[in-house]
Amino acid sequence: MLQLQVLRQDPEAVKKKLAVKHFKDLALVDQIIALDDERKKAQLAFDTLQSTVNSASKEIGQLMAKGNKEAAEAKKAAVAEAKEKLQPISEQLANAEKLLQEQLVLLPNLPSDQVPAGNSAAENEVVREGGDQPVLPENAVPHWDLIKTFDLVDFETGAKITGSGFPLYKGQGARLQRALVQYFLNFNLDAGYTEYLPPFMVNEASAFGTGQLPDKEGQMYYMPADNYYMIPTSEVPVTNIYRDTMLKQEQFPVKMTAYSPCFRREAGSFGKDVRGLNRVHQFEKVEIVQITHPEKSYEALNEMVAHVEKLLQSLELPYRILRLCGGDMSFTSALTYDFEIYSAAQERWLEVSSVSNFEAYQTNRLRIRFKDENGKTQLAHSLNGSSLALPRIFAGILENNQQDDFIRLPEVLVPYFGKAAISK
C-alpha cells in the first residue's frame, strides 16, 4: 500500500509513475488526497473537542475541591453535552479513515525508474542470456510425451482424485521432485538464508499484507467456513512472519527460504501453452524472501537475481533474464526480473522465476518497521523470488536432456536423485 505522504508530496509525479503501469483511474490520486483532507478536518474537530472535555473535567475536580459544587455541576453538564457531540464526530472520523484505506489499497505500487516503458510481455527488456541450447535427437518430444514414456506423472489419476490441473507424481517423477526441492533449499541455505516450513493456508490479514487481497482473490482457493486461503506461494506466510514487528537495524538483511506447494486457480487458462506441466493448479516451489534496510533493497535485488542465475547455471539449462516493462508488472512490484528457460522440444521460452523488489508497499501493509539512527520509525523494504518453481524446471530438464532411451540429469542433482539418469 502506498504511503499517503508520497501521494501528498507530489501527486502529479505519482500519476506519471502509475501511467507507466497503465493504471487507468489516475483521478483516484486526487480523490484520496481529498478524503485525507476530510479525515484531517474530522480529526482536528475531534481533538479540539476532546481537549475541551479534558480541560473541563480537570476543572470539575478543582471546583469540587474548593467546595464550589454549583459551578462544578454546571461544568459537568457542559462536559456531558460535549461528549454527546464527540460521538458523531468520532463516527465520522472512523468512516473517513475506513474509506481512505479502502481507496488507498486500490492503487498499485509505483514502478522504479529502472522499469522500461511497454504495454505487454512482448516489450520486456532482455537483460542477458546464458547457457547453451541443446541439440536434441531427431525423435525428440515435449515433456508431456516423455512423462508417459518414462511413467513419471499421472494426470488422469490426479484428475480423478481432485480435478484437472492436479498432477500425481510417481516413481522417478516423485523422486526427481524431491531431489529438486532438497537441492534448491540447500543451495539457498549455503547463501545464508534461514529455512522455514510455513503453514499452507493463511488468514485474510496475511493475504492482505502481501498484496494478494484485494487484487488476486479470484486466483486463490478460498475456504469460507474458516475464512482461510490456500497459499499461491510461500512468500505470503514467510513475509508475514514479521508482520507488526519492529526490527533492529542489525537484523538486516533478514533472509528466509521455504518450500511449499502452491495453489492457483488459473481461471481462464487454456490452449497449447498450458499442456502438461506448463500450467497447473497445484505445484511445488522453493522461495527466497528478504527484508532489508530501504537503502540496501536494490543491492539485495541484484544479489537475489545473481543467486537465481547461478542456480539455473548449475542445472545446465539455457536461460534468459528479462526486466519487466510497466504493462507486464504485478500490482505490488516496483521492479521485477523474470527468468525463463528455453525448451528445445517446445521451441519456446518458459518462465521459471520472478524476482521482485516491493520497496515499502508490502511492509506498509504489514507494519514491518525499524528505528533509524535518529530514533525515527521507518518502513523496511521487502523482496522475494522463486528459487525455483518446479513444474517448468522439471519439464525443461526432461526435454533438454532427453536421449533415445534415458534422460540425463544435471550433475548437481545426481547425489539427490541417487543416479545419473531417468531410465525406462
Say if residue 281 carries a ligand binding annotation.
yes
Dihedral angle sign, alpha carbons of residues 329, 331, 334, 339 = negative
DSSP 110: P
Say if residue 57 carries a ligand binding annotation.
no
Written as nine digits, the cell of 12 is 502529479
Say if residue 38 carries a ligand binding annotation.
no
Say if residue 289 carries a ligand binding annotation.
no
Say if residue 39 carries a ligand binding annotation.
no
Say if residue 293 carries a ligand binding annotation.
no
Question: What is the Cα–Cα distance from 261 to 268, expressed in whole angstroms?
Answer: 21
Query: Can you spell out the DSSP letters for 405-422?
Result: SEEEPPGGGHHHHSSSEE
Label residue 411 exposed, middle or buried (CB < 10 Å: 0-12, 13-18, 19+): exposed
ω into 253 cis (within 30 of 0): yes
Contact call for residues 407 and 422 (beta carbons, < 8 A): yes
Backbone angles phi, psi at 364, to 5 degrees: -65, -40
Question: What is the Cα–Cα distance from 356 to 358, expressed in whole angstroms?
Answer: 6
Contact call for residues 234 and 259 (beta carbons, < 8 A): yes
Say if residue 265 carries a ligand binding annotation.
yes
Assign residue 258 a region: left if phi > 0, alpha if psi is -120 to 50, beta otherwise?
beta
Contact call for residues 40 and 100 (beta carbons, < 8 A): no
Amino acid identity for residue 124 in this structure: N
Say if residue 283 carries a ligand binding annotation.
yes
Say if residue 351 carries a ligand binding annotation.
yes
Q: Helices in 192-316 by DSSP H: which ranges?
A: 204-209, 235-239, 297-314
Amino acid identity for residue 99 in this structure: L
Question: What is the Cα–Cα distance from 104 to 99, expressed in whole angstroms?
Answer: 9
Say if residue 188 carries a ligand binding annotation.
no
* Length of the chain measured in residues: 424
Say if residue 354 carries a ligand binding annotation.
yes
Contact call for residues 350 and 141 (beta carbons, < 8 A): no
Amino acid identity for residue 277 in this structure: L
The CA–CA distances, whole Å, from 186 to 311, 319, 387 equal 11, 21, 11
Say if residue 408 carries a ligand binding annotation.
no
Question: What is the Cα–Cα distance from 330 to 226, expressed in whole angstroms?
Answer: 28
Q: Helices in 66-111 by DSSP H: which ranges?
A: 69-104
Say if residue 367 carries a ligand binding annotation.
no
Binding site as annotated, residues for ATP? 264-266, 280-283, 351-354
Binding site as annotated, residues? 233, 264-266, 280-283, 287, 351-354, 384
Binding site as annotated, residues for L-serine? 233, 264, 287, 384
